[in-house]
Homo-oligomer: A and B are copies of this chain.
Amino acid sequence: MQVAVPLFPRMTALDAIGPYEVLQRVPDIDVVFVGERRGEVRTENGMLGLSVDATFADIPSPDVVVVPGGIGSRALLAGGPLVDWVRAAHPGTRFTTSVCSGALVLGAAGLLDGLTATTHWGAFDVLARFGATPVTQRVVEHLPERIVTAAGVSAGIDMALRLLELLVDDVAAQAAQVFIEYDPQPPFDAGHPSKVSDEVRARLAEYRTVRS
């Protein structure tokens, strides 16, 4: 089973690495990082380089697609090689999925029209432009349509565990979860804007790469 994760400039690393880490140890699954050209891409702030190992043309028929987000996704929405690849791959996949603002790429490929979907809370307005109905939910799945979308950044870990359950079984998912010791204990209950104070929201507005 081939899982393809596209990488692009100014992406958010954890969107891709969370699902990769869940899926990569299952003996029947190979994860391949694809992109417009082989070589390094850098994340939003330039602080991290990740390697693209295969071009879109090299991987025309992946079984699963996991599209990460990040502010770099905004530059892709007018169309281009990634959107074209997702659109062409989707009819042959078992699941076409996204994490965070990766949902916008699925939207641009025309895959979310008429469906509920989720994305990073900061991208709900853009998602709606593609005919999707944004919903505040950790993971949104449409099994007949083979489309699964996850909320922001860390939600890709939860989504990938569910994907393993769908692709293999619940034992496989639990085995992955125990390996990555995913027994989360966040020190705050601050995982969504609705849960934090104005002071926290003001601080966030000062952070790097929060707005494109």
Contact = CB atoms under 8 A, between A and B. Distances in A.
A125 B37 CA distance: 44
Contacts of A20: 13-14, 47-48
Contacts of A21: 12-14, 153-154
Given A24-B47, A100-B181, A183-B192, 12 more contacts: A27-B207, A48-B50, A138-B183, A151-B181, A153-B180, A157-B184, A158-B184, A158-B186, A177-B186, A178-B201, A179-B210, A183-B191
B121 A180 contact: no
A190 B204 contact: no
B158 A157 contact: no
A33 B193 CA distance: 30
Contacts of A183: 138, 151, 154-155, 186, 191-192, 195
A45 interface: yes
Interface in A153-175: 153-155, 157-158, 161-162, 165, 170-175
